[in-house]
Amino acid sequence: MTARQRRIGGWGYEGETMEPSLAQMVWLETRLGPPGTPLRGDNIAAPRVPARRLGDLPAPVSLDARDRLAHARGQGLADMIVLRGGLTGALPDAVCRPTTPDEVQGVLRACASVGAHVIPWGGGTSVTGGVNVLRGDAPTVTLDLENLSGLSAFDELSGLATFGAGTRGPDVESALGARGLTLGHFPQSWELSTLGGWVATRSAGQQSLGYGGIEAMTAGVELVAPAGRLDLRAWPASAAGPDLRQLVLGSEGRLGVITRVTVRARPRPEAHLVEGALVPSFDVGAHLLRTLVRQGVPLDMLRLSDAAETQASLAADATPTILRHLLKRYLGLRGIGDEGCFLLFGASGSRRAARAAIWQTRRMAWREGGALLGAGPGRHWLRDRYRRPYLREALLDRGYATDTLETALPWSALAAARERVGSAIAGALADTGERVVVLCHVSHVYLDGASLYFTFFFRSAAAQETLRRWATIKRTANASLVSAGATLSHHHGVGQWHAPAYEAEVGLQGRALMAAMARHLDPQAVLNPHVLLDARDHMEE
């Protein structure tokens, strides 16, 4: 465990910040108008919500007000607005930190017997309302898994490592790194989130092109449910019936509590290279991504910003004027104008193999009319890869709100969906006269399609009104994802906020099947009952 204190009502750890540059503030003001009401994150007080009695829980319990507040909500923008605006009306009645799977089972049993709900908690970084306590709900215990952590078994020859579900990203990597291995799973939340949380939400890391998503790394898993314990063993492959691990992956605490995960680790790569380029347009860039992945060029990351995101990055960049001028000339010579799109590409492995993949990508980008930017942008990105969420809090302090959402589609639907979903978000507050700025990038590519990641900005107001603006945008976005034929989420999950559209995602029968599994494993609906299957809109709660 780290001694650093987690921030409440903001991302990450106390003391860490990422401030917007003057250029970024000018950029926002030009597009959205002057700042709105700041929603400041200092002095967030725990509301006086008395803890309801739950009887004896057979595991360490905390009733501390600040601990309860710290476990009231995840890390979505709405959570920040609610916490900063003093709108928090619900806290868990207890924070419980079991030390064994038996204690987990005992807590589930105890809660079932008194009609209480249990919300499993890993790093608490859900951005979909996945760990939120609802006002007016049954008594609720948040089950923080931090005591179920660390490496418990290691099979060197097979590269199989078994961890407690509550093990955080850096602790997973340091345990494996000491053995010459890596998991290769680096989501933006990596410093805070846990292995169990990754499995529960079908997380995808930034280098998933090379390493796969968490579902490819998960060899074995233990799930403790009210109905009993599911212990799925680590085989490299099996055709003995459906892959039940895939039910645990993405179960979001609704089917059981993930207590233990066995992962497939691989040799730590000798080199990890990341370079940048600008390509003439989004369409050219998307064509390049598709070609790279279909030709099997062994990269581990591909990321393409649209023109708006590219312009925003350039505006925010602190590069000296003389260099900017040179860059502009270079781009001019390559015929790249305002439609230019920023491309980032990375490769891992032996130095030789990584270099070869980077060279091949450079060559192909050049042939498509791209301008190569070398390793500088890669260094920049690597430095900030886990820090960007801190910027959101700094903007809220200054009167602007920002959030993200993401999806995935086949290649054939990508360009149209980017337009459609982007336009829908941009116009979501038109009735109120407020503007929304939308940026987009592709961050995960596949043989048959890619993800789209939208970042949007709008002005904050008083907390309740800001929450209303956010919910309006979110509802609009959900509807436009559904009508564009896009999945509700590539890697953020369903949680509470996408749940109203879950039936559109998997169909009536898909939802009914999921509900049947939940009924079997958790007949009294003790576990996180408002995610996935609760179709009511809890966005403004």
Type and span of the H or E element at 47: none
From CA 6, how far away is CA 8, in angstroms rounded?
7
Degrees (nearest 5) of the Cα angle 493, 123, 409?
Answer: 20
For a copy of itself, the closer CB: 491 or 538 = 491
Q: Least separation, in Å, of the C-beta of 126 and a copy of itself?
A: 12
Q: Least separation, in Å, of the C-beta of 274 and a copy of itself?
A: 18
Of 478, 400, 491, nearest in space to 81 by CA? 400
From CA 459, how far away is CA 469, in angstroms rounded?
9
**Type of residue at 368:** E
Q: Least separation, in Å, of the C-beta of 284 and a copy of itself?
A: 15
For a copy of itself, the closer CB: 237 or 333 = 237
- How far the first Cα of the chain sits from its last, in Å, is 32
For a copy of itself, the closer CB: 253 or 377 = 253
Sort residue 399 into left (φ over 0), alpha (ψ -120 to 50) or beta.
left
For a copy of itself, the closer CB: 140 or 407 = 407
Q: Least separation, in Å, of the C-beta of 537 and a copy of itself?
A: 17
Angle between helices 351-367 and 282-294 (to 10 degrees): 140
Q: Least separation, in Å, of the C-beta of 210 and a copy of itself?
A: 9
Degrees (nearest 5) of the Cα angle 531, 532, 535?
Answer: 90
Q: Least separation, in Å, of the C-beta of 519 and a copy of itself?
A: 8
From CA 15, how far away is CA 412, in angstroms rounded?
45
Q: Least separation, in Å, of the C-beta of 271 and a copy of itself?
A: 13
Q: Least separation, in Å, of the C-beta of 382 and a copy of itself?
A: 22
For a copy of itself, the closer CB: 143 or 247 = 247
Q: What is the DSSP string of 446-463?
A: ETTEEEEEEEEEEE--SH
Type and span of the H or E element at 441: strand 437-442
For a copy of itself, the closer CB: 298 or 427 = 298
Residue 273 · residue 346 · CB < 8 Å: yes
Is residue 291 classed as helix, strand or coil in its secondary structure?
helix
For a copy of itself, the closer CB: 106 or 377 = 106
For a copy of itself, the closer CB: 97 or 202 = 202
From CA 116, how far away is CA 524, in angstroms rounded?
10
User: Quick count: other Cβ atoms within 10 Å of Cβ 416?
Assistant: 12
Longest pairwise C-alpha distance within the chain: 73
For a copy of itself, the closer CB: 94 or 445 = 445
Q: Least separation, in Å, of the C-beta of 200 and a copy of itself?
A: 10
For a copy of itself, the closer CB: 365 or 514 = 514
Residue 97 · residue 120 · CB < 8 Å: no
Q: Least separation, in Å, of the C-beta of 529 and a copy of itself?
A: 15
Phi, psi of 222 (to 5 degrees): -115, 130
CA distances (Å), 253 to each of 76, 92, 118, 224, in order?
18, 16, 9, 10
Q: Least separation, in Å, of the C-beta of 297 and a copy of itself?
A: 10
Dihedral angle sign, alpha carbons of residues 538, 425, 380, 284: positive
From CA 275, how far away is CA 291, in angstroms rounded?
18
From CA 169, how far away is CA 147, in angstroms rounded?
15
Sort residue 430 into left (φ over 0), alpha (ψ -120 to 50) or beta.
alpha
For a copy of itself, the closer CB: 215 or 339 = 215
Q: Least separation, in Å, of the C-beta of 293 and a copy of itself?
A: 10
From CA 529, how far away is CA 417, in angstroms rounded?
31
For a copy of itself, the closer CB: 139 or 212 = 212
For a copy of itself, the closer CB: 18 or 227 = 227
From CA 127, how far away is CA 259, in angstroms rounded?
22
Q: Least separation, in Å, of the C-beta of 264 and a copy of itself?
A: 5
